[in-house]
């Protein structure tokens, strides 16, 4: 099942980006991300030549001291490296009511701007401001990180739409690991709207029998021990240990935690690698792929919007096929969930 793969950026061999040692295979995100970025750079160059301007990604922050600024800066740098124009929109202020109004106005303005292809906003939004401020103002066609209810609903219904880049990266790592998905028992730990739930919907769509575990799950190990695939997105270092895994399981660790100054995932890597057949390392696994896929989503959004504006067909690569990052316009029928 390739429906979540960005068109034109695959396929790779199942071994791509994989290191092997005495324990589990350790699928690396960076080589796959490099390959995706190369494809994006080619598409950006073609788009820019045809349209006379580069596709533009708008990044909205509420004050540059926001904790997510490091992540957003990294995305802007990665955008520039592939020829995408980055536009940082800062909505400073210390009164949540005024700042929320200005944030909504900024996102509405970017949504209406034909030069802007995609919009992402600082997450979480500052205390006292509802995330609805952003999702009510963002054009779903520019919602390249899949936070708008329309895109979330399209995913739920089996239509193509924008999916959150992190969830997309988790699925991409899983597919590239070569693990069979159809008929597999999959456990997703975490039920957030940006990672856990979208991963679960994608896994179910891809044919896995999918269980979602979360903070109220009574016996987590009972579920994980029966799973061929375990995707962990809880933000709890050491949550999954080797004795909680079925021998040969494939483990996708989405967690990012800082412990004693070091980045670690949610999986106890040392014990898990003795039992799993493959486990994504942290850092270096899912993380690098997330940014590359966000750029892939951006270029798809730009192509779709140009096509919708009636650009000559030859100027815009066809927006059909198995692209995951395509906008909702292509979908006329939900995929069969039979």
Q: Which residues of this protein are in contact with ligand NAD, per CB under 6 A? A: 166, 189-192, 194-196, 213-215, 217, 220, 233-236, 239, 254-257, 286-287, 290
Using DSSP, state whether 100 is helix, strand or coil: helix
Residue nearer to ligand NAD on the CB measure, 295 or 307? 295
Residue nearer to ligand NAD on the CB measure, 121 or 189? 189
Smallest distance from ligand NAD to CB 101, Å = 26
Smallest distance from ligand NAD to CB 193, Å = 8
Residue 192 CA to residue 214 CA, distance in Å, equals 9
Smallest distance from ligand NAD to CB 38, Å = 20
Residue 48 CA to residue 193 CA, distance in Å, equals 34
Residue nearer to ligand NAD on the CB measure, 287 or 328? 287
Smallest distance from ligand NAD to CB 292, Å = 11
The long-range contacts involving 304-310, CB below 8 angstroms and separated by at least 24 positions, are 304/141, 304/329, 305/114, 305/117, 305/141, 305/142, 306/47, 306/50, 306/51, 308/141, 309/114
* Rg, the chain, Cα only: 20
Going from the C-alpha of 12 to that of each of 2, 136, 210, 263, 285, the distances in angstroms are 12, 38, 26, 28, 16
Q: Is the peptide bond before 283 cis (omega within 30 degrees of 0)?
A: yes
Instruction: Give one word for 179, left, alpha or beta, with left for phi > 0 and alpha for psi -120 to 50.
Output: beta
Residue nearer to ligand NAD on the CB measure, 89 or 221? 221
Residue nearer to ligand NAD on the CB measure, 281 or 317? 281
Structure tokens at 133: 């401020």
Contacts of 19 (CB under 8 A, 6+ apart): 25, 26, 28
Residue nearer to ligand NAD on the CB measure, 103 or 256? 256
Residue 78 CA to residue 57 CA, distance in Å, equals 11
Smallest distance from ligand NAD to CB 128, Å = 19
Instruction: Please name which of 320, 315, 304, 300 lies closest in space to residue 48, comparing C-alpha atoms.
Output: 315
Smallest distance from ligand NAD to CB 288, Å = 8
Residue nearer to ligand NAD on the CB measure, 26 or 213? 213
The helix (H) or strand (E) run that includes residue 209 is strand 209-213
Smallest distance from ligand NAD to CB 195, Å = 4
């Amino acid at each position: 099942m390739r429906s979540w793969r960005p068109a034109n950026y695959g396929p790779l061999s199942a071994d791509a980006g994989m290191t092997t040692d005495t324990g589990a295979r350790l699928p690396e995100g960076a080589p796959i991300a490099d390959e995706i970025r190369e494809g994006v750079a080619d598409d950006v160059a073609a788009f820019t030549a045809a349209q006379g301007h580069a596709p533009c990604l708008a990044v909205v922050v509420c004050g540059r001291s926001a904790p997510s600024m490091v992540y957003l800066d990294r995305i802007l740098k990665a955008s520039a490296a592939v020829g995408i124009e980055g536009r940082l929109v800062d909505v400073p202020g210390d009164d949540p009511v005024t700042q929320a109004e200005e944030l909504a106005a900024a996102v509405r303005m970017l949504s209406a701007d034909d030069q802007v292809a995609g919009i992402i906003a600082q997450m979480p939004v500052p205390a006292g401001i509802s995330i609805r401020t952003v999702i009510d103002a963002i054009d779903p066609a520019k919602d390249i990180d899949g936070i708008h209810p329309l895109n979330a609903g399209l995913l739920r219904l089996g239509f193509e739409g924008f999916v959150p880049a992190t969830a997309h990266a988790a699925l991409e790592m899983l597919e590239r690991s070569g693990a069979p998905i159809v008929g597999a028992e999959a456990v997703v730990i975490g039920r957030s709207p940006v990672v856990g739930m979208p991963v679960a919907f994608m896994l179910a769509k891809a044919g896995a029998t999918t269980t979602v575990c979360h903070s109220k799950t009574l016996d987590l190990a009972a579920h994980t021990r029966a799973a061929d695939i375990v995707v962990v997105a809880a933000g709890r270092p050491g949550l999954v240990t080797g004795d909680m895994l079925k021998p040969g399981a494939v483990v996708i660790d989405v967690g990012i935690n800082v412990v004693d100054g070091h980045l670690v995932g949610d999986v106890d890597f040392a014990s898990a690698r003795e039992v799993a057949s493959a486990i994504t390392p942290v850092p270096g696994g899912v993380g690098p792929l997330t940014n590359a896929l966000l750029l892939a989503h951006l270029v798809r959004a730009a192509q779709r919007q140009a096509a919708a504006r009636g650009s000559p067909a030859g100027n815009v690569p066809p927006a059909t096929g198995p692209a995951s990052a395509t906008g909702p316009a292509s979908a006329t029928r939900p995929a069969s969930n039979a």
